[in-house]
Amino acid sequence: MSTPIRPLNIGLESVSRWRVDDEAHLPQRGRDAPKFLPKQRELDEILHRPSLDERLTELLQPSFLDTELLHPNVLSDTRLSTHEVLGDLANEASGDARQVLSEAQVILGSEMELEEEVRAALAALLKG
């Protein structure tokens, strides 16, 4: 006992509730602009927030990376000058800041020692 498919003649026949306030009016003059025009960039920032993966990537990757730092001599000079600056700042600081700066200087010093070991091993390999 199947029912036959009826024709699709159901639709909107009339509007029973209609208010003048609901009607969208255009301005009387042609030059008036809407009162509110959202800035597209700000709206996109709200609607399309980055995921956790995207935010972590943005936080972990520096926004500016100097390509000169990839040269070994520039990198070791930068480490040496940073080590000296951290030492000076640690001497001037007090409390927790002094301890943190001292630990950073120690860590950077160990990096410099490892770099010297790598250079010595590389020199030994090149000598044969």
Q: Which two tokens stand for residue 55?
A: 């935010």
The tens digit of pLDDT for each residue in 84-102 reads 999 999 999 999 999 999 9
Q: What is the pLDDT of residue 24?
A: 63
Question: Is 120 a residue whose pLDDT tops 80?
Answer: yes
Between the alpha carbon of residue 35 and those of residues 27, 32, 38, 45, 113, the distances in Å are 11, 9, 10, 22, 65
pLDDT digits (tens, 9 = 90+) for 61-81: 877 777 887 888 898 999 999
Q: What is the mean pLDDT of residues 99-125?
A: 94
